[in-house]
Amino acid sequence: MGIVVVGSVALDSVKTPFDSEEEILGGSATFFSVAASYFTQVSIVAVVGDDFPEQHIAFFHRKGIDTSGLHRRPGKTFRWKGEYGYDLNVAKTLETQLNVFAEFVPRIRPEHRKSPLVFLGNIDPDLQRSVLEQMDRPRWVVCDTMNYWIERTRPSLLRTLSMVDILIINDAEVRQLAEEPNLFRAAQKVRTLGPEILVVKRGEYGALMFDGAVLFGIPAFPIEKVVDPTGAGDSFAGGFCGYLAARETADDAALRRAVAYGSVMASFNVSAFGPKRLGDLTYTEIQDRFREFRRYTYFDDLE
């Protein structure tokens, strides 16, 4: 049932021009699973060290997230240290300590193999494929990746992409993956590599979805005060996949709503450090913002 997410659980230290926090809960699987937890059952497959605070495990449990696939290994938890300038779009990585994550080999527990949706977070494409090989025909294979894998492991990444239904990456990654500067041509080229649906994250400028002849685009939900953009893309993917996994069917209307829910979850996430705001939402707050977002972008048809 629900979603299996494979990715990182980390301790982040984040600095913005206005504030900073040290060793807070982070990682792609964290933001993804907290965002998705409002819509469906989520199981995290990840690894942490023996220094990982119990309070974070308790937090996952409070969100109803299954941590039976979150392994604790001797050693230190993955740490990321990053900084943002006044333009909060791009993080500057100051330090990455892989620690126990360097030896991460994802194992899918028997009870998770029949999950209808698997989200392959931004990890080595060899590992992404090893996850797929353990799954029992999921309805949706959704995938993320980044410049690092596009540059260094392209052949392996292409093998993974041939098994993917939905790819969720940012616009620079689309261009780099397709080796094509025009975003629209690049998107169509990426779709020939496997993913039927391509969702393009554009940060403060919103999101695009390419699905056959359908092109859907929305701006970002307007946020007056962005506190920490870390995890925005992962919360977007979590909202998108959570909404999708909770449904029987996924027609065009559902996919468009899924993109809107992704944007909504990302907009909550950036208004506090770590998954603090993302973690204390009510489902009503999410629905209210979805409606507000719809009013924000809505215009009537021709009279």
What is the binding site for its own copies (CB under 8 A)?
86, 181-182, 184-185, 205-206, 208, 215-219, 222, 224-225, 253, 256-257, 259-260, 287, 290-291, 294, 296-302
Q: How far is the CB of 219 from its own copies (least distance, A)?
A: 5
- Give CA–CA dist 289/303, Å, rounded: 28
CB-based contact 21:88 (threshold 8 Å) = no
- For 128, residues 6+ apart whose C-beta sits below 8 A from its C-beta are 6, 120, 143, 160
Of residues 3 and 207, the one with the C-beta less far from its own copies: 207
- For 153, residues 6+ apart whose C-beta sits below 8 A from its C-beta are 124, 125, 126
Of residues 152 and 294, the one with the C-beta less far from its own copies: 294
Q: CB atoms < 10 A from the CB of 54, how many?
A: 7
Of residues 132 and 241, the one with the C-beta less far from its own copies: 241
Tell me how many helices (H) and strands (E) the chain has.
11, 13
Q: How far is the CB of 176 from its own copies (least distance, A)?
A: 15
Of residues 47 and 255, the one with the C-beta less far from its own copies: 255
Q: Any bridge partners for residue 197, and if so which?
A: 166, 211
Of residues 62 and 291, the one with the C-beta less far from its own copies: 291
Q: CB atoms < 10 A from the CB of 302, how many?
A: 3
Of residues 168 and 259, the one with the C-beta less far from its own copies: 259
Q: How far is the CB of 250 from its own copies (least distance, A)?
A: 13
**Residue owning tokens 């009870």:** 111
- Which residue spans within 185-293 are E strands per DSSP? 197-201, 207-211, 214-218
Q: How far is the CB of 2 from its own copies (least distance, A)?
A: 19
Q: How far is the CB of 231 from its own copies (least distance, A)?
A: 22
Q: How far is the CB of 251 from its own copies (least distance, A)?
A: 10
